[in-house]
Amino acid sequence: MTTSTFVKLDGIAKRWNGQLGVEGITLDIPEGSFTALLGPSGCGKSTTLRLLAGLELPDEGQILIDGKDVTTSAASDRNLSMVFQSYALFPHLSVAENVMFGLKVRRVPKQERLEKLHRALEITGLLGYEGRKPGELSGGQRQRVALARAIVAGQRLCLMDEPLSNLDAKLRNAVRKDIKKLQRDLGITVVYVTHDQTEAMSMADTVVLMKDGHIQQVGSPEDLYSRPNNTFVAEFVGAPPMALIESTALEGFGDDKTIGIRAENIQIVPAGTGRMRCKVNESEFLGAETLIGLDHDGTSGLCVLQPGLSLMPEGDEVEINFDDGNLHVFDDAGKRLAG
Ligand SMILES: Nc1ncnc2c1ncn2[C@@H]1O[C@H](COP(=O)(O)OP(=O)(O)OP(=O)(O)O)[C@@H](O)[C@H]1O
d(CA 14, CA 213): 9
Domain count, the chain: 2
Phi/psi of residue 86, each to 5°? -85, 5
Q: Residue 338: inside a domain, yes or no? A: no
Q: What is the pLDDT of residue 1?
A: 46
Is residue 194 lining ligand 1, measured as CB closer than 6 Å?
no
Residues 95 and 203 in one domain: yes
Q: Residue 41 Cα, ligand 1 centroid: separation in angstroms? A: 8
- Could you give the strand order of the β-sheet that contains 243-246, starting from the edge strand earlier in sequence? 299-300, 243-246, 258-261, 328-330
Q: Is residue 336 part of a domain?
A: no
CA neighbor of 37 nearest in space, from 213, 177, 223 = 213
Strand 243-246 and strand 303-307: the pairing is unpaired
- What's the CA-to-centroid distance between 234 and ligand 1, angstroms? 24
Query: Cβ(43) to ligand 1 under 6 A?
Result: yes
Are the CB atoms for 31 and 189 separated by under 8 Å? yes
Query: Among residues 180, 205, 233, which one ends one of the domains?
Result: 233
pLDDT at 87: 66
Distance 22 CA to ligand 1 centre (A): 9
**Are 196 and 254 part of one and the same domain?**
no
Pocket probe for ligand 1: among 14, 16, 165, 166, the residue whose CB has the most ligand atoms within 8 Å is 16
Which residues, listed in sequence order, are joined to residue 328 by a DSSP beta bridge? Answer: 260
User: Is the CB of 16 inside a 6 Å radius of any atom of ligand 1?
Assistant: yes
Do residue 215 and residue 122 come from a single domain? yes
Distance CA(301)–CA(98), nearest Å, equals 47
Looking at the predicted complex, does its ipTM rise above 0.90? yes
124 and 16, same structural domain? yes
Residues 320 and 252 sit within 8 Å (Cβ to Cβ):
no
Tell me how far the alpha carbon of residue 45 lies from the centroid of ligand 1, in angstroms. 8
Strands (E), the chain: 5-16, 19-30, 34-38, 60-65, 68-69, 80-84, 157-161, 189-194, 206-211, 214-219, 243-246, 258-261, 267-269, 276-285, 289-295, 299-300, 303-307, 317-321, 328-330
- For residue 280, the domain's CATH number is 2.40.50.140
Question: Which of 200, 233, 266 is the C-terminal boundary of a domain?
Answer: 233
- How far apart CA 233 and CA 210 sit, in angstroms, is 9
Cβ 47 under 6 angstroms from ligand 1: yes
Are residues 33 and 66 located together in one domain of the fold? yes
**How far is the C-alpha of 220 from the C-alpha of 202, rounded, in Å?**
11
Closest CA to ligand 1's atom 30: 42
CA 176 to chain centre: 11
Q: What does pLDDT average to in each consecutive run of 10 residues of the chain (339 residues)?
A: 84 95 97 97 95 95 97 92 80 92 82 89 88 90 87 89 81 84 90 94 96 98 96 94 94 90 96 94 95 95 95 96 95 88
For 138-167, give the DSSP string.
-HHHHHHHHHHHHHHHT-SEEEEESTTTTS
Domain membership flag for residue 337: no
Would the CB of 14 count as within 6 Å of ligand 1?
no
Ligand 1 centre distance from Cα of residue 44 (Å): 6
- Domain co-membership, 173 together with 281: no
Q: Quick one: which of 192, 132, 126, 130 has its CA closest to 164?
A: 192
Both 204 and 84 in one domain: the answer is: yes
Alpha-carbon gap, residue 258 to 250, rounded angstroms: 10
Q: What pLDDT was estimated at residue 93?
A: 92
> Are residues 282 and 147 both part of a single domain?
no
Of the candidates 75, 61, 73, the one whose C-alpha atom is nearest the C-alpha of residue 21 is 61
Question: Is 142 found in the same domain as 107?
Answer: yes
Last residue of a domain, one of 164, 199, 233: 233
What SS3 state is found at 110? Answer: helix
Q: What is the pLDDT of residue 32?
A: 95
For residue 173, the domain's CATH number is 3.40.50.300
Question: Does a structural domain hold residue 108?
Answer: yes
Instruction: Count Cβ atoms below 10 Å from residue 74 Cβ, excluding itself.
Output: 9
What is the number of other CB atoms lying within 10 angstroms of the CB of residue 253?
Answer: 17
Residue 307: domain span: 240-330
Examine the domain organization and report whether 99 and 213 are in the same domain. Answer: yes
- DSSP structure class, residue 72: T
- 287 in the same domain as 324: yes
Mark whether 9 and 35 lie in a shared domain. Answer: yes
Q: Report which ligand 1 atom has the smallest distance to the Cα of 39.
A: 21
Helix (H, G, I), strand (E, B) or coil at 309: coil
